[in-house]
Every structure is written in structure tokens, then in C-alpha cells.
Amino acid sequence: MNKTDICFSANRSNVEVAFRDYMNTYLGETEKRTGYTYDNSVKFAEKEAKMNKLMNAEIYKLANIEFSEGSMVSKEMWAQHPLVKWASFAVANSLIDMVLPDILDKSIGLYTEQKNGMIGDSFAFEVEPNDLFYVSKAGRDQRTVEFQRQYNGQVTVIPENRAISVAVNFYRVLCGLDSLAKFVMKAILSVEAQITREVYKAFDTAMGGLPTTPIDGNLKVAGWSKPEALRLAQTVTAYNGGAKAIFLGTATALAAILPDDANYRYEIDSEFVKVGYVRTAFGYDTMVLPQIADYRNPYKLSIRDDVIYVISPSTQKLVKLCYEGSSTTNSITAFQTANLTESTTINKSYGVAIATNAIAGEITLA
């Protein structure tokens, strides 16, 4: 069952479609991200007004309240109704859960697999060996050779709750003076940035832990060298069952291995553009890893620019991102505070772990 079915009434399809288009418009036009389709015949401001109207209509439906402009009760008072508040966050949380995985898939999907579970769930991943049986030479008078057996490993992921606490004049939101749609969008972008940082940290830590000894250090290369890069790409491809490797890194990192003159021409709606394709390097595709801001350290970036990863995206993803249940919200009402400010906390429970049988490599440029 789709989680949004739990909260949305018959009007939910309109809300879903409109919010996807609203979110995609912001990501495509404001943040200039690729791969997002939307109706460009309507201005973003118009979409935001329409989105707020649709969300408010859905809120009042869920709260079972017949509100009209000529009502004896004001919007300000309806905004304090417990069911109106519940319905508001039911809609907001459903939209977060609906859109967030799609956005993350475009930024971390090359090395991350997303899983959804119910509240209270933990996740167990069976990791099967990816090597083959070796073939022994046996004489005519020899019935058997050395027996071989493979064992599966298991990785358990237990989600933990994360929270965003914000202060908002909530009745201004419900009365149309502030934008509820913008509030939800910013919550989605905030959670996306945090998850991306955590997932990338797990991925980079795993890559940094690759062996470096002369005997088994064939998956980690220090310093850029074309022959070594090709050897590593071939190694990753061969040990992933022939799934072709790619070079993955930020635009700055990939600039170290790609020539300055592109001389390539692609249509704007080409699949190459949509998935962030740059071009091939020595017969292997290169993919741009989107950079993200580190808001706790102003003007610092979170993803390393001095490393190129070599992975096979079509094999089992290296990182597992597991969501526990749906987003939830709790709030302190405006009239419980002296300044009439509503304090709202959005909770999202998830876990991140490395669980894979795939092989990957790392090239450190510095």
C-alpha cells in the first residue's frame, strides 16, 4: 500500500500531481538540477498559490470541516482546531514521504539502494559471495577434488529517528499569509541534504577503508595515472561479474581526467543529460556526483573533490538506506507560548549501512 493512501482522500491525486510538478519546477528552475520534468507554461508563483489552495482543501476535507469565506468562524480560529492541525501535518508528512525518495534517487542512486519498512521494523540484508567456484584439474583415477562451499553474510540495519524543529506562526500558514507548500518543500530539501551527507559519509568511509597493502591493495590508487585508472576499472568490472565500471566524482574531480574541449552535442531532453552523463574516459562512462553544502560550516562543501570512485552501478548497491514507517510531526501550539509562535518538529526515522557483495575502487587525486 502506498503510504499516501492512508492520509489522502479522493482529492489526493490532485495534490500529489500538483506537488510533484511544484517541487520539480523549483529543482529545475531555481536549483538548475537536471532530470526533472515539469509544466513550464505556468509561473512558479502561480503554482505555489495553486498548491496552497489544494493543500488547504485537502486539510479541511480530512478534518471534516466545511469552511467557507462567509463562515461565522474566522480562519484564525479554525487554524487552532486540533483536527485541522492534525490534517495539516498528515498532508505535509505524506508529501515528504512521497517526494523524498525520488529526489534522493537522482543524487545518490548510483551507489545507494532505498528500502521502506513499517514502524518498528529493522532490516536484514543477506550478502552472498560474488566469486565463482574454481575449477581443479582431476586425474582419471580421482573421484573428487577439494570441496568448496560458500557462506552468506548478513548485515542488520536499525533505523534511528532524526528531527527538525522549526518555529512558525502556524495560523498565518493556514490562513494563507505564509506558504505551507514552501514549508513542506524546505523540509524535504533539508532532510534530503542531511541524508545525502550521511549516505555519502558511509560510502566514502567504506572506500577509504579499502586495503592498501602491496598484496591486496589493487582496489585503491594513490595519484592519477591513466594506466592505473584503466587497470582499476577493468578490475572492478571483472570482479563484478562483467558489470561495466564507471568513474564517479564531483565536477572538480572529473575535470582532472577529462580533456578541456568537450566537442559533444546532446539534446536537452536526452537521457545522457537527465542522468548527469558527462562523456566517456578511455571507454568508461563518467558520472557527476552532485556537490552539497555543509551548512554547519559556512561555505564548505560535503563531498570530496580530490577523489574519483570506480563502481559498477548495475550491481548490488554499496549503501543501503532504510526508512522506518512514515514521517511524523508533533507541535507546541501557538497559544501555549507568549509570542504566539508555533513550534513544530518533523521526525524521520532511517538507517544507513554498507551491505553489498559488489567490488568498488578509489583513485585519490592529491
DSSP 132-167: PPPPPP--TT-S---------EEEEE--EEEEEEEE
CA dist list (Å): 181 to 26, 69, 97, 244: 12, 21, 14, 42
pLDDT at position 153 is 73
Model confidence at 269: pLDDT above 60: no
pLDDT at position 132 is 66
Q: Domain 110-366: which CATH class?
A: alpha beta
Binning pLDDT at 50, 70 and 90, where does residue 275 land? Answer: very low
Longest Cα separation, the chain: 99
Q: Among 138-142, 281-285, 288-292, 321-325, which range has the highest average pLDDT?
A: 321-325
Model confidence at 272: pLDDT above 60: no
Q: What is the pLDDT of residues 175-233, one digit of tens each?
A: 667 788 888 898 899 999 999 999 999 999 999 888 766 666 688 888 888 888 999 99
pLDDT at position 266 is 46
CA distance linking residue 56 with residue 7, whole number of Å: 14
Q: How many residues does the chain have?
A: 366
Model confidence at 52: pLDDT above 70: yes
Model confidence at 243: pLDDT above 70: yes
DSSP 244: P
Q: Among 72-76, 84-88, 217-221, 246-250, which range has the highest average pLDDT?
A: 246-250
Binning pLDDT at 50, 70 and 90, where does residue 150 land? Answer: low
Binning pLDDT at 50, 70 and 90, where does residue 247 land? Answer: very high
Global pTM reads 0.80
Write out the three cell numbers for 319. Answer: 549503501
Q: What is the pLDDT of residues 2-29, one digit of tens each?
A: 444 444 445 667 898 999 999 999 999 9
Q: What is the mean pLDDT of residues 55-77?
A: 79
Map residue 230 onto helix, strand or coil: helix
Domain locations along the chain: 110-366
CA distance linking residue 354 with residue 347, whole number of Å: 23
Map residue 331 onto helix, strand or coil: strand
Model confidence at 294: pLDDT above 50: yes
CA distance linking residue 105 with residue 65, whole number of Å: 37
Q: How far is CA 294 from the centre of its chain?
A: 16
pLDDT at position 7 is 43
Model confidence at 360: pLDDT above 80: yes
Q: What is the pLDDT of residues 299-330, one digit of tens each?
A: 899 999 999 999 998 888 999 999 999 999 88
Region of poorest pLDDT, from 51-55, 261-265, 292-296: 261-265
